[in-house]
Chains A and B, each alone.
Chain A
Amino acid sequence: MTMTIAEKILAKKAGKSSVEPGDMVEAEIDYVMVNDITGLPAFEVFEKFDCQPLREKTILIPDHYVPNKDVASAEQARAMQMFAKKYDMPNYFPVGTCGVCHQVMIEEGFVAPGRLIIGADSHTCSYGALGAFGTGVGSTEAASAMALGKLWFKVPESQKYTVKGSLEKYVMGKDIILHIIGEIGVDGALYKSMEFYGSAIESLPLADRISISNMAIEAGAKAGIIPPDEKVFNYLKDRVRGDYAPLYADSDADYSEVYEYDASEISATVAKPSLPENTAPASELSHITVDQAYLGSCTNGRIEDLRVAAEILKGRKIASDTRMIVVPATKRVFEQALSEGLIKIFLDANAYVSGPTCGACLGGYMGVLAKGERCISSTNRNFLGRMGHKESEVYLANPAVVAASAITGRITDPSEIE
């Protein structure tokens, strides 16, 4: 029987020689992660079990509302701290040590090829970029996995996306996934696992691949997996915790759908409000002014993203009617940006730079939009009111477009200001 990557991982973790779409399996979990929002309900459920958590497998990362924005969020973060203390949890990453959960999971070496990782956060699918099966779950499920180290899954159908050719300058992994979602729609991969292949994907740095896998959920997918290669193995050297074994699809594996794209035909792409499928080339939206430009998040808050933006911002100033907010995804990204002089470039351009947090990405705090305001954002969701008032608007784009738009004060294809 031939299998896709998703099928191989689920079969292996369920201790079976093969599985097929629709099968129900109980599979061994490598790691389970909760954040400050989903953690609290998971801890409440966990206490009903009257057992010890699997300490090595459980990861606790406060990131959404920390540093605490108000009393309610302070209580939430405190509940996580208390839980970590009570059970002496080794993988608790409090404020000051970490950052946005998915990037922390990757940087800290929890994510590796062939692993099955669940997180009580929908963007857990990001881990597919390293050849892992990562998927979002509910708090009750996370609690159960913390106790048992396993969870049930329905084996999804897989889809194959092949992107050939090479990308133009200032066109990134983000544009590939926005382009795909623009074509297949926000339910184009419902229930399914997306797999990405082709020369364009192979030539992408890992950072760009993470942006692609990160947004698989925006097409309704359960996972978004890229076959791991040397770039992944090199990244994991000196970083990965434990052993890992990459798994690849059989060459004649069955896919429910097959799509092909030519990278050279993909331009710097923007998703207009209020769905990620509402895409248009950035160059066609140059009349749209922006009040805020946001660079950060699990989609595009890595050092590679900051470098692209800094290159454009260097020696320039943010438009007077626009504010720019830069949030390195993690402490490590922040340190790297500092040592490379990127933070200085952002500050010189009059951008506001903050420590790692999800804050603005989900309209939580710091960077919330007023009624009628517009933000060009490197994040992954532009739902109604996602970053603030229900009549504010979010346009999703890559870091180069965000930086170029911050300079002109309107949506700008970076090639326009070269």
Chain B
Amino acid sequence: MRSKIAGRVWKFGTNVDTDQIIPAEYLVTGDPAELAAHAFEKARPEFAGEVREGDIVVAEENFGCGSSREHAPRALIGAGISCVVAKSFARIFYRNSINIGLPLVEAAIVADDGDNLEIDFKSGIVKNTTKGVEASFPPTPAFLQKLIDAGGLVEYTKTQIKNMGM
């Protein structure tokens, strides 16, 4: 993962549940690209058509609550989302995202749709360059960074297995 990213904001509110991210009727595939075609289909019908590679999702508290479906972070990866910034995340969504390689940032940043965001993972600063405000966030724990850099838990596990000579 790059240490700095910049992207355009898609803004959401509180308690965005996994049903909103990817409705249950599309859980017949695990393919990120196919899932992405239906991401936020009910909550933000324009999302799938207008989202661009590198865009950033910004939300309030408890992002990703509800079921444990790994399909939710997969759909966001498939849509090209580079990072989700939220005040807080639901536990299983957090785990699933990290495990499949979707960067998450726990920060309170003021933002609206279309604003430009810069995230510096090294310094732990997220800047809204459109509004001229910024917020800090705790650095990603070294272990999770390793996991994300490796491309998620499956890739990480493969590397570990190689290193252990199993």
Contacts and interface: CB of A to CB of B under 8 A. Distances in A.
Majority secondary structure of chain B interface residues (helix, strand, loop or mixed): helix
A191 B154 contact: no
A143 B153 CA distance: 10
Q: How large is the interface on B (under 10, 10 to 19, 20 to 34, 35 or more residues)?
A: 20 to 34
A126 to B, nearest CB: 17
Contact of A137 (B95, B144, B158): B95
B150 to A, nearest CB: 12
Contacts of B92: 138
A146 B157 CA distance: 10
A25 B144 CA distance: 9
Contact of A51 (B70, B91, B100, B166): B166
A147 interface: yes
A152 B147 contact: yes
Contact of B154 (A26, A140, A190): A140
Interface in B125-163: 141-144, 147, 153-154, 156-158, 160-161
A244 to B, nearest CB: 26
A49 B68 contact: no
A154 B92 CA distance: 11
Interface string B75-104: 000000000000000011011101110000
Interface string A44-80: 0100111110000000000000000000000000000
Nearest to B141: A24
Contact of A144 (B68, B94, B142, B153): B153
A141 interface: yes
Contacts of A148: 157, 160-161
6 contacts: A26-B143, A45-B154, A139-B70, A147-B166, A148-B161, A154-B94
Q: What are the 9 A-B residue pairs with the smallest beta carbon separation, nearest first?
A: A24-B141, A144-B157, A51-B166, A51-B161, A24-B143, A144-B153, A191-B91, A147-B157, A140-B99
